[in-house]
Every structure is written in C-alpha cells, then in structure tokens.
Chain A
Amino acid sequence: MRWCYRCGCSGVADVPVPIVIIGSGPAGISAAWPLVEAGLPVLMLDASDATPLPAAPGGTIGEMRRGPDRARIMFGDQPPLPGPVENRSPKLATVLARAVGAGFHDRLGLSADGFFSLGSLAQGGLTNIWGAMASPWDDADLAPFPGGAIAMRTAYQRVSARIGLGGGATDLAAPIRTLLRRHAGRDDGLDLSIASNAVLANARDGREGCSHCGLCLWGCDRRSIYNAAYELPALQRHANFTYRRGQYVREILPDGAGHRLIIDGAEPICAARVILAAGTITTTALALRRLGAFDEDVPLLSNPLAALATLVPGQIGAALPERSFSLAQLQFGLTMADQVRSAGTLYAADTLPLSVIADRLPLSRPLALRFVRALMPALVLATFFLPGSFSRNRIRLASGSTRRVTIQGEQPPETRAALRKVGRQLGKKLRQRGAYALPGSLTVAEPGTDIHYAGTLPMGATGRFGCGPDGTLNNCPNLHIVDGACLPVLPAQHCTLTIMANADRIGRELAARWVAGG
C-alpha cells in the first residue's frame, strides 16, 4: 500500500496516513505491534534527535569503583557542583538520565511547582532509565478497565512474552538474602517476594542475559534491561511500518474526519487516525489543546512515595561486592489496618554512591564517608507507594501566546501521615525480619518523584476529560490516548506494564476492526 505523508502533496494518492503513532516509548511500541502484525500501515513519530545517548560503561561495579574512569562515568563532562542535599533518586543523577530528560521541559513549555516532573524526547522514552519493575495489577484494580481483568490478563501475557520478565534479581545481595530467609513462614500482612523485573535472564532478540555487573544505574551495555527502543528494529522489518525521528508534534488539529499534525520544523502530516503515546504529560497537553481546554485544572494522578533505609547488622563492615544488581531485588505489598494498600521495592545499596546516605548524617565528612562505606554492604533501602487516589496534583494549559503547561503538586497532610504510618509499619515488620530502620531515614518524597504520571483523561469518564474503551478522546473521533493518561485508576503499583498491556489491548481492538473492514 502507498500513501502520501504530507497533505497537499501531488505525489501518489493524496490520502492521509492511515495511522500515526506519536511516541516510541513503551506505550507507542505496544500499540504498534498488533496493528503492524495485522498488516495496517503505521507511521511512528518521535521527538528524538540523532545524537546518541551516552554509552553504557561496561565492566563491573567493582572495576568501576577502583578504576580511574569512575568520575567520568558518574559525572560525564559536567563536574559535580556544590549545592544543597538533593532528595532525589541516584538513578536520576546520572549522565544518562540527564541526556534522556534533555529538552523535555523547554520544548513543551512546562513548569512544575511542588511536583517532580520528568519526561523524555528520546527514542524509547523513559524506558532508557526506568527501574524496570513490571508486575501485573490485581484483578480488583483492573475492574474499571474496558473488558475488565480478563481482557487485561491476556494483554499482560502478550506483552510479558514480548519483552521478557524475571531476570535480574536472581542473585540477591547478602542482607536481602537474610531478610528473605527470615521472612519465610511469616504471615503478618507484609508479603515479600523476588522482584519481577523486565530484565532478561537469558539472551534473546539480540539482547543478552543479565550478568549482574551492578552498573544498571549508568546504562545496561548488555541490553538486558528492557528498553522500548530495542523493539524498533524488529518493527521496522515490517514493510508496513515506518519510523521517523525528530518529529516534535506541536498540535493535533481536526481535519475532516481525521487530523492534521503540526510538527516543529517540518511539513504537517495528515492522518486518518492518531494514536497518542507521547507520555502522560505531553499527551495531556496535546489533548487539552485539541479540546481548547485552556486555563482549566485537570487532576493528574501519581503515587505518593516515601523511602526508608534499613540495616542488617551482620553485614556491617563486609567488603563491597564485585558484582551486584542495582534495580529492585524484592517487591512487597503491605495492607494497613484501614485497608489502605501500599506497595514497594527493596534495593541493596552496594552499588550506590556513599553520598546518598552520607550527605544526610550529622557527622563530620571524613567520618561520614568511612562510616557509610562500612554500612553500605548491610543496607537495604525501601521505597514504597500509596495509591494515586492519595495524590492531589493538577495540570493545566495556559491560554494566550505562551501556551505554557503548568503542574501544581500538592501533598495533602493526610497523604504525608499515611506515608509515615506505612513507613512505621514497614519499619516494624522489617525489624522482625532482621533489618533495622536507620533513625530519621524515613523520607517523604516530593509529589511526582515516583514518575508514575497517569489518569488525566481516564477511560470511562464521560465528561470532556476522558476517553472511551478504545482510548478515543471524548468528542474527538479517531484520536486515541494509549499511554498513562488514559488509565482509569492508579493503584499502589508500578504502572508501565499495565500501560503497555492497555496499549496492546487498544491496538488489537483497532486491528480487529480493520480486519473486519470497519
């Protein structure tokens, strides 16, 4: 099949592109597969430019620790600056994270107040730096989805089979092993299990199995950690799939029954159908613009997040390991007496910079460094979430020529209190399993730090800000929202696998309709 990409083009047939997918992150890629496999012509656009992301260092954490390149790997060509202690995940302090997030705020015109906002214009989006925690949601949480849990279960299976789950946390750090051993047989509301990561244990699709090099934070040179960009070559082997980078979509205008995409520095593209997967924040901004919804607050869900540092005393002073795994090693769920469900992950600290802990200790610097170095092999760090219903953030698109996007974050006192309560409970239960919380280490993070942004245009909502079962934005036929923006709920869980499953479900539905001639 041939078509004309640009409107007004006098070339072949002057028909709009049948399907344009905006975004090559996990949502866009997952929506693409069923459509491409069904033979539909698909054009995928993303905003990435041709500059490659910083290369993964290679080697092992032990080699990096001793080697001369450590500062270069950690800081790149931007030296560390003197400044206040930052309350941010060490994952976001890397050269890679800076490159992956580069340009996002400026291009969109985004400013956030009391909210940690991050997005990506890269190929593969935020999966270039994600933590790869991937487990399906519970049936109860899937109930509001079109087709309910049943439809989502099959979608989960397809996506999981495609990306590969379950490698990574196969060789646990010593304090985590202790914790798990002492967990066995307990039934006190804390369920603890090996983390389900989108990390390969064995080679496949041109990727290698995880070698526990411990350098996850700085980029996986074996490509064991899933990244949506890895799927592009396979998609491109299909003749009906076209991918174009460097296409920053500024606006989606109505154009007959279809759409006209206004693109920075390029010709507009006409599309019969648009699948919007630019990441929740950008997708929301583009949808609000299409709806003409200026200066209106739209609720933005995120998972309120807190962190706790605990210590397994037997490991204090042990040597730091040569190899490790720096993504989550265990996952847990905790149901509180008031039925609030929290979930989280446990990490070993043996690959982290000492400053993560040392900067917070009221000791002198020489002592703090040496002391934390002795603690690191014994530390277990927990991060945990509350459901999105505990969040109170708002996103809005300003009218006027600036069209700025603003996010106003808010952490209501009840939410802080609930996080602290969970933290105390967790501390108690971990203590019973041999891990002792460090006094004063319970830290409530700024809203948005979870980077689980969702629910601005929920499926099933009937007002202006919502979409239908196939992600169609209300009152905008043939414009489908398939990323976090369309999630109807946000339980205390990692959301990306669910975003992918939902995008797959929508893609499959559209493909089926096309095959049926609809």
Chain B
Amino acid sequence: MIRHIIVTGGSGYIGRCVAEAALARGCSVTILSRRATGLPQGATHQAWALGDKLPEGSLNPAVKASEQAIIHLAHDWGNPGMTADDEGGLNRSGTGALLASSRLHGVGRFVFVSSQSARADAENIYGRVKYAIEQDLDHPGEVAARVGLVYGGPPQALFALLVKLTGDLPLLPMIDPWRDVQPIHVKEVAEGLLRLVDHTATGWMGLAMPVGISFKDFLQTLAREFHGKSLPIIPIPLGLALLGCAVTARIRFIPTVDRERVLGLAGVRALACADHLEALGMTIMPLEIGLRREPGSRRAALAEGRALLAYVLGAPPQKMLLRRYAASIAAANQGALAMSGVFRRFPSLLRLAEPLRDRSPLAQRLRLAATLVETSPQGEAMLAASNIATLCVGFVLDAVVLPLRLFRRG
C-alpha cells in the first residue's frame, strides 16, 4: 500500500488533479516542479526540473521507501527531442535521471504518464518520445499509463483549446472527423493513476474510454454541452490542416493551432484498454455525463435558461429563476440544447422557433420555463400586470408566426 506520492508536473492539468486526489485519500504528497506556484493545499514542494535527479527531501522519511511512489507527468514541450539522432532529448534523459535515482532509493512504484499516441512509428514527435521512454521502464514496479483524450476540470492543455475552438468558431474544419478518440475525464485519469500506483502491472496500461467515439461527435458534444450550440464540421485533408497550422502560427490574435497536436490527433490509433480498466476495477463515464459535471455545462444551461425565461417573461429573468432553470436541467440529467446563438441574443425570436409538437426537446424546455416563471414572484408580477392589450398583441404575433411554426413541424 503506497502512502507517499511524489508527482512531477504537479501543478499542471493532470498533475494537480492527481495530487488533490492523492491527498483526498490520505496519502502525503510532494510536488516536484520549478516553481512553488499553483500547488494544491496540503502538498509539499521541492524545486526540481526535468534532468534533475530525485531531490533528497522529496521522500517522506516517516514512510518506508517501498511504500512511496513517483507519478511522472512532467514533459518539456520546448525541448521535444527525437530529431534525427538525439534519442528522445531532455524528456528521455530527464526521465532516465529520475528513474535512476528512484531505483537507487528503492522507491516502491514508478508510474510514467504516457500517451495514446505512443508508438515507435508515431507521426508526431511526442508519440515517438513517449514510446522511447516507455521502453526504459524495464524494472519491476515500473509502469507506463497511456492516457486517452483528457477532458474536464478547469480547461487547460488540449482540452482548453478544444473548448475555445468549439466556442469561438461557427463551424469547424477538421481532418478526418470520423476518426475515433477515446475520451477520459481528468478526475478519472487521476483515479486511474492512483489505482495503478497500488497495482503490480508492468509494461503499459491504457486509461481511456474503452470504446471510442468519433472526434466529430466529441467536438459536437462539447459544443452542445458547453456552448449550447450545434457545430457543423467540415472535413479537410491533412495537408490543408498542416498548412492552416503554419498560417495560424504567423497571424496574431487568432488561436494558434499547433502542428504537433494536429499530427498527434491525426495519428491516434485505437487503445485497447478494456482489460486494463477491468484489472483496475474502473468504469469510464460517457463523455456527456462527464461534461455535465463541469461548470461549463452549468454555464450553458444558464445561458439557455436566460434566453427561454426571457422569452416567456418578456423581460430579463432574475437570478433565482435562472438558478432554478439550471437546477431542473441538472436534476433531469440533461445538458443544454444545441440552439442558434441568435436566440440567446434576441430571445423574443424564439416565437418563430417554438415547436408545435409537445414532445420536441425545445417544447419541453419551454414548458419548463413557463412553469418556473409561473411559480416565481417575478412571473406572478408579470402575469398580474398583463391585460387585454398584451393578450391582443400576443394573439396577433402568434397568428403571424403560425405558418412558420407549422412549417417547422415536419
């Protein structure tokens, strides 16, 4: 049973989450990084950079070395390695240094965080470097974790980029949109790594949703759940995408898309990890469910509520109503609907879109909004103030838009 965990890259996207989860289950945690900023509460810090060996003070003297583990996440992007003849560069040599001192101290477990793209012949450098390092883990107690497409938590790393892209762009050009990705929530990654720490597996273990979904579905789900919008996807050839990367790298003020990342995604192959997950006793939640636990999903529900409630009320809804709306959507285990942004800007236009069919999702949401309005003081004030004139206007408007609504029926 491991009782002390040393995390390299402990202030990064996954690292921070791992450190928090380890602390939560009662382990002591030391974080190795250059600076002591952004550390989770309760963890101790040791200055360290890739290439250094294990600092003396990072081990917990109160715990046997065999009950301590290293989770190695740090990766130097500025110094990628794996050019023609550097054999993995700093990432590999640095990992080697850490590994050597870990062996020297008799540390019980060494978990190296690798990637789904790790392959000898990977298209991207990252994948080739990760693969090369995996080969160095040849002692008992050493294992690599190949992690799928990580999402969730405070948006960072690739996830942050995807959240931004799906939010900003009206449509998304994409290389091979039908290629499968295997998402996994960052909390599940943390959980998986900690289980791996207490496990005896060697070689590599996969941490990802065992059955992939197409990257297109991934992005469209993200667009719906986080931004309440539908996102048309335009397939583009790889060559064109790389050209795009080159262009974005030159133009300022637009998000740059990294060539490495594009190659990484394009080169991904299926990660057979069902057996690994079973061995670790883990099930991975569907993407939708994972996203719905995120603040981004609640923000999208609030934005939708703001539009629907404003439409029903004829005025901006008060905070309490918005909160109720989001709570109802969450209680139903649902997320935001994909809806045109025009309706969020001009809620009264929903009159054109309100379906006549009572079973359509939008009709159900509008009825929910009406119920919430009716049972709120703000709604009661609005209803008590409405008069024959407001009704007449309402009937005229309804009559005018009826043909449109009938048309939408099909």
Contacts and interface: CB of A to CB of B under 8 A. Distances in A.
Interface of A: 65-68, 70-71, 74-75, 78-85, 317, 353-355, 358-359, 362-371, 373-374
A78 B383 contact: no
A365 B328 contact: no
Contact of A317 (B356, B364, B383, B388): B388
Interface string B359-403: 101001111111111111101100100101011001101100100
Contacts of A66: 377, 380
A364 B397 contact: yes
B310 to A, nearest CB: 10
A362 B356 contact: yes
A82 B351 contact: no
A364 B400 CA distance: 12
B188 interface: no
B327 to A, nearest CB: 5
Contacts of B398: 363-364, 367
B62 interface: no
The 5 closest A-B pairs by CB, nearest first: A367-B394, A82-B364, A79-B328, A81-B332, A370-B386
Given A71-B372, A355-B370, A84 B328 contact: no
Given A70-B375, A79-B327, A355-B374, A85 B358 contact: yes
Which label, helix, strand, loop or mixed, suits the secondary structure of the B interface? helix
Nearest to A68: B377
Contacts of A75: 375
A75 B379 CA distance: 16
A84 B364 contact: yes
Contacts of B376: 70-71
A374 B395 CA distance: 14
Given A82-B332, A85-B358, A362-B356, A370 B375 contact: no
B397 A367 contact: yes
A185 B154 CA distance: 75
Given A74-B375, A369-B370, A81 B394 contact: no
Most buried by B among A67, A80, A362, A363: A80
A364 B348 CA distance: 11
Interface residues on B, range: 35 or more
Most buried by B among A68, A71, A78, A368: A71
Contact of B383 (A68, A80, A82, A369): A369
Contacts of B386: 370, 373-374
A67 B371 contact: no
B331 A371 contact: no
B235 interface: no
A140 B358 CA distance: 45
Given A74-B375, A355-B367, A365-B369, 5 more contacts: A82-B332, A353-B371, A359-B370, A367-B398, A373-B383
B331 A370 contact: no
Given A84-B364, A354-B374, A365 B354 contact: yes
Nearest to A84: B359
Nearest to B396: A367
B311 interface: yes
A456 to B, nearest CB: 36
Contacts of B354: 364-365
B370 A368 contact: yes
Contact of B312 (A68, A78, A359, A369): A369
Contacts of A365: 311-312, 354, 366-367, 369-370
Contact of B391 (A82, A353, A358, A370): A370
B401 A364 contact: yes
B203 interface: no
Contacts of B366: 365
Contacts of A80: 328, 368, 371-372
Contacts of B373: 369
A355 B312 CA distance: 13
A364 B332 contact: no
Most buried by B among A81, A82, A373, A374: A82
Contacts of A82: 328-329, 332, 334, 361, 364-365, 367-368
Interface of B: 311-314, 324, 327-329, 331-332, 334, 351, 354, 356, 358-359, 361, 364-377, 379-380, 383, 386, 388, 390-391, 394-395, 397-398, 401
B257 to A, nearest CB: 37
Nearest to B353: A364
A81 B401 CA distance: 28
A367 B366 CA distance: 12
Contacts of B388: 317
B35 to A, nearest CB: 44
Contact of A79 (B324, B361, B370, B374): B324
A83 B359 CA distance: 8
Nearest to A66: B380
Contacts of A362: 356
Given A81-B328, A359-B367, A353 B374 contact: yes
B391 A374 contact: yes
Contacts of B367: 82, 85, 355, 359, 365
Contacts of A354: 370, 374, 383
Contacts of B375: 70-71, 74-75, 353
A362 to B, nearest CB: 6
A364 B394 contact: yes
14 contacts: A67-B377, A80-B368, A81-B328, A82-B361, A82-B367, A82-B368, A354-B383, A355-B367, A362-B356, A363-B394, A364-B398, A366-B314, A367-B391, A368-B370
Contacts of B332: 81-83
A19 B281 CA distance: 54
A36 B328 CA distance: 50
Contacts of B383: 354, 369-370, 373
Given A84-B364, A371-B394, A366 B377 contact: no
A79 B368 CA distance: 10
Given A353-B371, A355-B367, A65 B380 contact: yes
Contacts of B371: 80, 353, 355
B259 to A, nearest CB: 44
A214 B369 CA distance: 25
A358 B371 CA distance: 10
Most buried by B among A68, A85, A359, A370: A370
Contacts of A68: 377
A75 B356 CA distance: 26
Contacts of B368: 80-82
A54 to B, nearest CB: 16
A78 B331 contact: yes
Contacts of A370: 383, 386, 390-391, 394
A354 B334 CA distance: 25
Most buried by B among A66, A67, A362, A369: A369
A419 to B, nearest CB: 22
Contacts of B314: 366
B217 to A, nearest CB: 23
A369 to B, nearest CB: 5
Contacts of A70: 375-377, 380
B73 to A, nearest CB: 40
Nearest to A72: B375
Nearest to B370: A365
Contacts of B369: 365
B197 to A, nearest CB: 39
Given A71-B376, A353-B374, A367-B391, A359 B358 contact: yes
B206 to A, nearest CB: 37
Contacts of B331: 78-79, 81
B312 A83 contact: no
A364 B359 CA distance: 15
A364 to B, nearest CB: 5
Nearest to B388: A317
Contacts of A83: 332, 364
A74 B328 CA distance: 14
Contacts of B328: 79-82
A365 B351 CA distance: 8
